[in-house]
Every structure is written in structure tokens, then in C-alpha cells.
Amino acid sequence: MKRTAEGDAAPDATGTRIEPEPGPGAQLDTRLGSRLVELRAERGWSLGELAERSGVSRSTLSRAERAEISPTAALLNRLCHVYGRTMSQLLSEVESEPALLVRTAEQPVWEDRSAGFVRRSVSPPHTGLRAELVEGRLAAGADIAYDRPPVPGLEQHIWVLEGTLDVTVQEAEHRLGAGDCLRMRVWGPTRFRCAGPEAARYALAVVLP
């Protein structure tokens, strides 16, 4: 049902309440949910088996597959680990085939509003290529923790463009200012935090091992 800024249903000129067309975010969630169903079916897993492998509850997995919720970054990271994909690879599978030249307006953007995280696939992954370039934005106060990499041994280069970013790789903590670059191979937990007072923007190069 269509909502106004105050959250009330909005009628049309005849007074009939109308349903809006799903927005880009809702459409992406629907395609993503369908792809998650396909990946689970390809492996012959039940929701219970996937829950055991990922550490995510059956109810959350079911709602994500039915597009009743928009998956968080942490949830997608766990599923990517189980399915052996990077996050960009998974998201690219629900988008059209990426072109060699990707204009700004065509770069897929995914947002985890609850975490204050926006992820732009600057150069979406492509079959046969090992590297991709991502732009990340963390709002002041945002704090995202990943318990494992989507692919063990994943190579990452983080170049901070604006603000300050705190990155923890396993137990090593690094504070990065504008212009600083951190290079790492990811085997265990990582954490990205923007203490503020301003948002942080960074470029992330991801290279499959």
C-alpha cells in the first residue's frame, strides 16, 4: 500500500487506496531471494541444513528467500561463505551481465540501512576475472563485524578516500585516515567501524585467491 511521508496510506484522485510499483530496492531483494533459493536447491539442502552451516536461523533464512526482509551485510557475508562467493559475485548474479565499461549510473548499489552501510560495485565481478573494485560508505557510528571471509584467503586493499576508518583484521587493529591504504589477506574475523564525527568513504579492491 502506498504510504505518505507520515506513513499513512495515500488515496488516488477517486479516493481509492492504491499500491505503488515496487522500488529498485524491493525488486533487487526479490531477485536476490530467488537466487538464494536456487543456490540452496542446487546443493539439495533444507532450510535446517543451511541454518546449521551458516549459523543463521531458519526463520531469517526463509524470510530472506521470500524477500520479506532485506538481508543485512552480515547475513549476506555468512551466506557468501557457505556458497563460496564474494558479496559482489552474489549480487552480480541477480543483475544483468556486466559490461566492460560501467557508467556511474549503471553501477549496482546495495544498502544496509540498519548498519549505515552503502556498497557500490564500481567494477562488478565477471566470469574469468579475479579482481573487483568496490566503493564503501559508512555513516558516523556505523560498526560492521564479519565473523569470516566469504572466500578464505581473500585479498583486500582498502584505500580511505574521506573520513576515518577503523579496521580490525582478526585481532590487529588499524586506524586509517584519508589517503591511507591497508593491504590484507583475510582468513578470520574482520570489523569495519567509523567512529566519526564524519562518514567514511573508501575504495576496496577485492582479489580472489
Predicted TM-score (pTM) of the model is 0.62
Q: Is the pLDDT of residue 63 over 50?
A: yes
Q: What is the mean pLDDT of residues 83-109?
A: 81
Q: State the pLDDT at residue 129.
A: 74
Cβ contact 85:124 at 8 Å:
no
Closest CA to 116 of 135, 136, 145, 139: 139
CA separation for the pair 113, 25 (Å, rounded) = 11
List, as one string, the DSSP characters of 102-116.
--GGGS-EEEEGGGT
The DSSP bridge partners found for residue 65 are none
List, as one string, the DSSP characters of 150-209.
SSTTEEEEEEEEES-EEEEETTEEEEE-TT-EEEEEESS-EEEE--SSS-EEEEEEEE--
Closest CA to 149 of 62, 65, 64, 208: 208
Q: Is the pLDDT of residue 126 over 80?
A: no
Q: What is the pLDDT of residues 7-59, one digit of tens each?
A: 333 444 434 333 334 455 567 788 899 999 999 999 999 999 999 999 999 99
Cβ contact 115:142 at 8 Å:
yes
Count of Cβ atoms closer than 10 Å to residue 26 Cβ:
13
User: Which residues, in sequence order, are CB contacts of 176 under 8 Å at separation 6+?
Assistant: 158, 160, 164, 165, 166, 167, 182, 202
Q: State the pLDDT at residue 88.
A: 81
pLDDT band of residue 1 (cuts 50, 70, 90) is: very low
